[in-house]
Chains A and B, each alone.
Chain A
């Protein structure tokens, strides 16, 4: 919402509110200016829905992005939260700084495949190396939407598009890159699969470090021919969910329904919430790094994309934990930030 208005208290009872008394509308942003049917819009709607369902408090959230059509979308959700639309490919460094300044904020970042996989690859990798706690969404359409259809680094080798011609180079798989960089929460989804996007988002928000969601998000303007792997048509036909996902927030502890042995795995998230996975691929283990990489490679070879939580490892501490941050640096008082005159005089003794 560009012109934030406080939630009104005298609303008619019929409007559904969440546990903190906000309606879904309170999680909206400005109206989208993206193309109708753009996958990015569906993802923005799911973020709104998740904010509502998880009772997120606006001031506890920051939204960040790089540059691209995808990166515009933070303007279209959570209008009552601070936002930072950074430079092309540079969301990671800004997020790192902001979350060091105030590590109690929860960050939702939106980037594109060009923003992340081309110009921003270096920062993307270093963000995950440092394990900065944030949800990092890549709205992956295989092209540069905003600059009108050039190939991005995630475009499949041999892909032919009207404007861009034939892509001669191998694709970058951002999930593989994330796993190799040390990311402990790597998932892939499809913008058209609203339920799965929501569940992954909820789980990602609970993760202790960087959580990467690579969401195939078709560009209806430049990459939506049915034989293109990042089109809607292809996506609905070739999406292969790894597992069904149920997310149970810590706040509303629900007893888990009995599960068939072998079919389910419940993973406890760092903040105490749980995520349960239904293994469709028999024997798929999302906590096994090499297996995850192997599975991704196989999917690439057969030109299908697997969706779900591909890799999960909550062991590594976040950057804020490594830095032993306590009171947010941004909230320290002048007294805490400036040592005394006596300390200065004493310190200078050794330079006499």
Chain B
């Protein structure tokens, strides 16, 4: 039950304070610099020690380019999307609908410039005279709209009782402590706060109180965290082509690498190339991986399709590469600024001729960082392209997390033979399974030994990498690569399981749906106890089989229409195909706990 529901039950008139538990949405027009204002609010809550998460919802091509920034504040630590009780209405183009969407008892903070705002008598309105508040502030004309947004920051701070010094600190962090910018913005915040204190009377129940639940935590986007992981994973070649929502991954890499990865002489230990398209980016990755670099790219669905031929080739010729897919919705421009888990099935078997790829599935910034370095290890250990499937929600939004743990194992470079080893072994066969794990040995170009060379070819080949069309060679080679995939099962990150001994129902999920699901499970704790297995990678291992075996029904919840992961799991666990149920949904928005709760109850009712 949301706070408001509880409020309403308690009666409209009596409104006891609601502390550290609300969802706030800021509606602005794109390009007005509202991101700084919104992040200032987010950081203020964070600095007060209250769990918080922000989601930027920005349709890509509606006229006026509206954006909505959702901030969820929750003393219990729930950070899934939830319909907002508090609206900051600063966009004339959407204000009408925005106000209509507020639940009864909600709050509307609106710019005095808005005309014909719907008047609902079940809402609380606070008017902000923006023009008056920014008059006389000394900033260049082009920065005026930016500081205008600070007016709502001041009023929200007043309304929620956020101390001004906390806002100031948050602002400072936002501007990288560039004093002049901080000052002019702070001036507007202060004025708005003072103006509100004098002219408005607080009628709503919402406010914040300091707590200590964010102590020591960091705030970062998933793309930044993944890029930082790649930096510590020793990524040395990055090739890419811009596409929302993956671009900020490369932007972060371009920012971090020069700061963290220069050698003693100040020379870069990396190269980043903006390729002519994703196909070329994939080719550069394979060329670099073959020659011994640690290569990474980031893209989204449409880019993945262009990479298909190379990924297939990389699987078959066994060349390491790491591909981040920050998933968005649909083909071509689909819904390019909306989140989804729609590329699972496509990526898992991308290619022609029996391909299957390891896929890492991060759900948090901690996992983005961890998989950022681990994926590079896995690619070289397994000698194959490895996918990391993130999504727009995780990649582009700011999330709290624990400071990242430094890699807990030395860098894994896989089975690469040096000239000395070759000498001792008296040669090698590129595609021979020496160790029984399906993973062969390789040499790098430049290895100074007469037996080092081999020919990397997409054509059928035997153990010596020689051209071959013999049936046996094909069979043996493909069987070995399948063996390698078996080895991968226990090399990739294991699932995270929360077993509930009284649960007969299990849930399997992955990625960012976890937040809505975790909240829903708590809400259902008494009515429908569940266990949760959060997949952190494909292929699955024994733990997944055991989990399914231990429950009567297992719901696979995912953010797509067709139940792609459900299909993969049914395939992998044919003996349990009947007990695996699909809950798949995609409308472009992250799931809400309420939706998950309702769906689970409905499914359970119909299965009784």
Binding site for B on A (CB under 8 A): 2-7, 30, 57-60, 62, 67, 74-75, 79-87, 90, 92-102, 104-105, 122-123, 126, 130, 323-332, 334, 336-339, 341, 343-345, 347-348, 350-352
Contact = CB atoms under 8 A, between A and B. Distances in A.
B416 to A, nearest CB: 10
A352 B456 contact: no
Nearest to B294: A337
Given A97-B283, A347-B260, A329 B464 contact: no
19 contacts: A59-B453, A60-B446, A80-B450, A82-B454, A90-B283, A93-B279, A93-B282, A93-B287, A96-B280, A97-B237, A98-B290, A99-B287, A101-B289, A101-B292, A122-B280, A331-B446, A337-B269, A337-B294, A347-B228
B404 A337 contact: no
A351 B220 contact: yes
Given A94-B283, A123-B280, A100 B288 contact: yes
Question: Which of A4, A30, A60 has the most B CB atoms < 10 Å from its CB?
Answer: A4
User: Which 6 residue pairs are nearest across A and B when measured between Cβ atoms?
Assistant: A97-B287, A93-B283, A330-B292, A337-B234, A101-B293, A97-B284
A71 B284 CA distance: 18
Interface string B94-135: 000000000000000000000000000000000000000000
Nearest to A123: B280
Interface stretch (B9-17, B27-35, B270-278, B539-547): B270-278
Given A59-B452, A85-B459, A97 B260 contact: no
A331 B459 CA distance: 29
A170 to B, nearest CB: 24
A3 B313 contact: no
Contact of A334 (B275, B410, B458, B459): B410
Contact of B450 (A2, A58, A87): A58
A111 to B, nearest CB: 13
Contact of A329 (B173, B217, B236, B467): B236
A110 to B, nearest CB: 13
A94 B289 CA distance: 10
B462 to A, nearest CB: 10
A326 B267 contact: yes
B434 interface: no
B218 A94 contact: no
A6 B427 CA distance: 10
B145 interface: no
Given A325-B271, A344-B404, A344-B406, A85 B291 contact: no
Given A96-B287, A324-B268, A332-B236, A87 B309 contact: yes
Given A93-B287, A99-B287, 4 more contacts: A75-B455, A93-B281, A101-B290, A352-B216
B215 to A, nearest CB: 10
B446 A351 contact: no
Contact of B287 (A101, A336, A338, A347): A101
B478 to A, nearest CB: 19
Contacts of B288: 97-98, 100-101, 329-330
A84 B445 CA distance: 10
A126 B276 contact: yes
B179 to A, nearest CB: 17
A336 B232 CA distance: 10
A124 to B, nearest CB: 11
Nearest to A341: B406
A86 B263 contact: no
Interface in B242-259: 256, 259
A323 B268 CA distance: 8
B570 interface: no
Nearest to A3: B464
Contacts of B281: 93
A184 B437 CA distance: 48
B307 to A, nearest CB: 11
Nearest to A95: B287
Contact of B286 (A82, A94, A104, A352): A94
Nearest to B284: A97
Question: Which of A79, A90, A326, A328 has the most B CB atoms < 10 Å from its CB?
Answer: A90
Interface of B: 173, 216-220, 228, 231-234, 236-237, 239, 256, 259-261, 263, 265, 267-271, 273, 275-277, 279-295, 309-310, 313, 373, 403-404, 406-407, 410-411, 413, 443-459, 464, 466-467
A90 B411 contact: no
A84 B456 contact: yes
A48 B176 CA distance: 60
Contact of B453 (A58, A93, A327, A337): A58
A57 B461 CA distance: 26
B385 to A, nearest CB: 13
Given A3-B464, A348-B403, A351-B218, A102 B283 contact: no
Contacts of B444: 82, 102, 330
Contacts of A86: 283, 286-287, 313, 458
Given A82-B445, A82-B454, A344-B404, A96 B284 contact: yes
A90 B279 contact: yes
Contacts of A323: 268, 271
B273 A96 contact: yes
Contacts of B407: 338
Question: Which of B228, B289, B406 has the most A CB atoms < 10 Å from its CB?
Answer: B406
B232 A87 contact: no
B240 to A, nearest CB: 12
A338 B290 CA distance: 20
Contact of B277 (A83, A122, A347, A348): A122
B293 to A, nearest CB: 4
B446 to A, nearest CB: 5
A85 B457 contact: yes
Nearest to A335: B411
A50 to B, nearest CB: 18
Contact of A102 (B261, B291, B458): B291
A117 B10 CA distance: 75
A130 B443 CA distance: 28
Contact of B234 (A80, A338, A347): A338
Contact of B455 (A58, A85, A93, A99): A85
Contacts of A122: 276-277, 280
B236 A337 contact: yes
B261 A97 contact: no
Nearest to B462: A2
Contacts of A84: 287, 290, 455-456
A222 to B, nearest CB: 22
B178 to A, nearest CB: 14
B287 A98 contact: yes
Contacts of B413: 334
B450 A6 contact: yes
A183 to B, nearest CB: 16
A167 B91 CA distance: 59
Given A324-B268, A339-B232, A347-B259, A97 B277 contact: no
Contacts of A341: 406
A104 B446 CA distance: 8
Contacts of A347: 228, 256, 259-260
Nearest to A346: B260
Contacts of A79: 453
A84 B285 CA distance: 13
B217 to A, nearest CB: 7
Nearest to A323: B271
Contacts of B286: 86, 94, 97
A105 B446 contact: yes
Contact of A2 (B234, B237, B292, B455): B455
Contacts of A62: 291, 445
A326 B267 CA distance: 7
Contacts of A331: 292, 446
B232 A344 contact: yes
Contacts of A329: 236-237, 269-271, 288, 292-293
Contact of A82 (B173, B456, B458): B456
B313 A87 contact: yes
